[in-house]
Structure 1
């Protein structure tokens, strides 16, 4: 949805959109799960993506020279089984794995979405935009030693200040896991999401949210032995199908989400009967909906302070 909001060729094709969990890549560029592709990342240029594509094709044995080299390479790739292509592509992190995310090609995208948000080069649409409070898309620490090593890997020269802001002694057991999960979520998801709300709200109507539902029914991709908190896209479970394993508290949130998402789709306003009032995000009132079970969702302006966003936003792209 971020790319569509920033794409000139999408102008006039839609009026409203909902962006969920669009910020997740590493803020500092030390991506260990997915190549840079999210709503805040500097995306590869067409030239960079072309070079990556050449390396990917060569790794699969599809190289050619001459005037019709592109046609020969394309024909070679079409003969390779789809599973082989997917296996070789992997997560896009290795030099010969190609690209898995959007690219700035000069036509569909003329710049990375966050840069477009900052410059106001966006389509005139209305958005719901937000993330989950404890989003992580990277390896999480299991021991104090891993906590120290991973903080240094991800944050380099910032590590000392990160340790000061997130000392292990302040977190409950398993402290290394919870502490590093919190750092990843604050730096990679929550604060960039709020910053994109602020950028977008200068130009279009935005309704921001942070999903604080830490007791959602577990999704297939989470380790149920860990305190995952409000994990990545956990609201999807309520929106994609009827929930059969949800508690009464969770079902109440699910009903709220369905009512607000569909109400917004109809009218462009997520405040509908049976749901709490949801104001738009503005510079003078930077409030977001904190989604919670049991009818406890509430508007708040405290998220940025709670998640150290004053610190993290100093290192955000396109500032």
Structure 2
């Protein structure tokens, strides 16, 4: 699971459709300068750690250090200091520590770099979906803390329950957040600006709009994900 997933990000370019590597194209502004809504989930990689457990390859306190050494070699100690198992509680503390690291390394920090590249050339809004107990879009083992994992915001924007083999029910607070998200997304689709009546104000990047039940609002999120390490 962990070794094979790296191929997911491979991109074919150097052709008529993608003549330039996409990251370089963003840096150079080689894209239509339309408004951009760019963001990620706060606990993206919990979905990966949960699937690894379902496949019989869980991250545990016994193998956490070994996994870091295999992944980062001489940098493993620095990574472990930034993402200690002791920062989390429960029997899946190591899996949550790994998930926090992998979320930052693969998604949060790269998303921030992508957002910054967009913002140099066009109007750009940034978000972090951060419901601490969002229903998972993918199956989770019993008792695994879902956080705001991969695709979990889709359950708030769409009737995603009809497309998955399990049911979920949003709490009243989550339903209010879902309504807020739908307002933001439809405002943006209509005008290129997520702001509008009845929702908290959403400033431009470098402020990031945190989207969480009863706690939506802008922060400077650039120092919250150990991006200097990555």
How does the TM-score come out when normalised to structure 2? 0.85
SS in structure 1 of the partner of residue 63 of structure 2:
helix
**Residue matched to 1:272:** 196
**1:68-217 alignment, distance < 5 Å:** 102-136=11-45, 138-139=48-49, 141-173=58-90, 174-217=92-135
Give the Å deviation of 1:147. Answer: 1.1
Give the Å deviation of 1:122. Answer: 2.0
How does the TM-score come out when normalised to structure 1? 0.62
**Residue matched to 1:263:** 187
Give the Å deviation of 1:292. Answer: 0.4
- Whether 2:7 is the aligned partner of 1:35: answer yes
Distance of 1:262 and 1:299 partners within structure 2:
19
Structure 2: 5+ residue runs without aligned partners? 53-57, 162-167
Task: Tell me which of 201, 211, 223 is aligned to 1:291.
Answer: 211
The total of aligned residue pairs comes to 214
Higher-Rg member (1/2):
1
Q: Aligned-residue CA RMSD in angstroms?
A: 2.1
Structure 1: 5+ residue runs without aligned partners? 1-29, 38-42, 44-101, 313-319
Deviates more, 1:135-144 or 1:174-183: 135-144
Cα shift readout 1:234-280 (whole Å, capped 9, x = no counterpart): 11112222888211100011000111101111111000111111111
SS in structure 2 of the partner of residue 181 of structure 1:
helix
Question: CA 1:242–1:32 in structure 2 vs 1: closer, same or farther (change >3 Å)?
Answer: closer
**1:42-57 alignment, distance < 5 Å:** 43=10
SS in structure 2 of the partner of residue 116 of structure 1:
helix
Give the Å deviation of 1:196. Answer: 1.0
Indicate conservation of the 8 Å contact 1:214/1:231, yes or no. no
Distance of 1:169 and 1:133 partners within structure 2:
19
Distance of 2:3 and 2:110 partners within structure 1:
16
